[in-house]
Chain A
Amino acid sequence: SAVISQKPSRDICQRGTSLTIQCQVDSQVTMMFWYRQQPGQSLTLIATANQGSEATYESGFVIDKFPISRPNLTFSTLTVSNMSPEDSSIYLCSVINTGSGEKLFFGSGTQLSVL
């Protein structure tokens, strides 16, 4: 199974600032996904990040607010820009490993609180 390191683990930020979350995988993967989980809510897909192309954003999420980089097959970043308290959530990166029975692996998550 893939090992996914995500950092920071948690952060408390002021509104109007930006935070970049990093996701490192121990093997090369084609597709990486970024999810958000607001308090008491389901996991919601923000975007799919493929190496060498622009990320594909889901309805309700835009690149200006959540810019994503995918410079190679093992690394990706998600930036939460111009933060407001509504951005307080758990952010999770994930990858698919089709080589095992487990389809989707998750990183350790980033707990973001915006004051």
Chain B
Amino acid sequence: EDKVVQSPLSLVVHEGDTVTLNCSYEVTNFRSLLWYKQEKKAPTFLFMLTSSGIEKKSGRLSSILDKKELFSILNITATQTGDSAIYLCAVESGGSNYKLTFGKGTLLTVNP
């Protein structure tokens, strides 16, 4: 059974701190890894990673994938209160059928 594990499950930091969120996975026929930010109900897309060692960057957020060790990290630098959200990691796997397995998420709280 495909499995995606995120850590930590929750994290509280102060504005300006840098945080690193972790995602490890065990899936059959890996295709890609995706990061989402969920503030209220609907997750919004952050990154899609398919190749090892290539950093994806968007403003203060960045992410990298290690396909040998089967994990990814999401970094947020100079955190702001608006970064408070659940961050979800999902792994796309399988053959012809689309399959996406989600982790439980990391609840990030950024205090002023």
The residues of A with any CB-CB pair to B shorter than 8 Å are 9, 31, 40-45, 48, 90, 92, 96, 101-111
Q: Which 7 A-B pairs have the closest CB atoms?
A: A109-B41, A43-B102, A102-B45, A42-B102, A42-B104, A106-B42, A109-B42
* Residues of B contacting A9 in the complex (Cβ-Cβ under 8 angstroms): 41
Known: A31-B98, A42-B103, A96-B98. A106 touches B48 (CB 8 A): no
Q: Are A106 and B43 in contact (CB under 8 A)?
A: yes
Known: A42-B105, A43-B88. A104 touches B100 (CB 8 A): yes
The count of chain B contact residues (Cβ–Cβ below 8 Å) is: 19
Distance (whole angstroms) from the CB of A96 to the closest CB of chain B: 6
Secondary structure type dominating chain B contacts: strand
Q: A42-B88, A42-B103, A92-B42 are in contact. List 18 more A-B contacts (CB 8 A).
A: A9-B41, A31-B98, A42-B4, A43-B43, A45-B100, A96-B98, A103-B45, A103-B48, A103-B100, A104-B45, A104-B90, A104-B100, A106-B43, A106-B44, A108-B41, A108-B42, A109-B40, A109-B42
**CA–CA, A44 and B100, complex, Å:** 9
Q: Are B42 and A41 in contact (CB under 8 A)?
A: no
Interface flag for B32 (CB, 8 Å): yes
The residues of B with any CB-CB pair to A shorter than 8 Å are 4, 32, 34, 40-45, 48, 88, 90, 92, 98, 100, 102-105
**CA–CA, A108 and B88, complex, Å:** 16
16 intermolecular pairs with C-beta atoms under 8 Å apart: A31-B98, A41-B104, A42-B88, A43-B102, A45-B100, A90-B41, A102-B48, A103-B34, A103-B45, A103-B100, A104-B34, A106-B44, A107-B42, A108-B41, A109-B40, A109-B42
* Residues of A contacting B103 in the complex (Cβ-Cβ under 8 angstroms): 42
* Residues of A contacting B92 in the complex (Cβ-Cβ under 8 angstroms): 103
Q: Are A111 and B32 in contact (CB under 8 A)?
A: no
Distance (whole angstroms) from the CB of B40 to the closest CB of chain A: 7
Q: Are B45 and A105 in contact (CB under 8 A)?
A: yes
* Residues of A contacting B104 in the complex (Cβ-Cβ under 8 angstroms): 40-42
Determine the residue in chain B with the shortest Cβ distance to A109. B41
* Residues of A contacting B42 in the complex (Cβ-Cβ under 8 angstroms): 92, 106-109
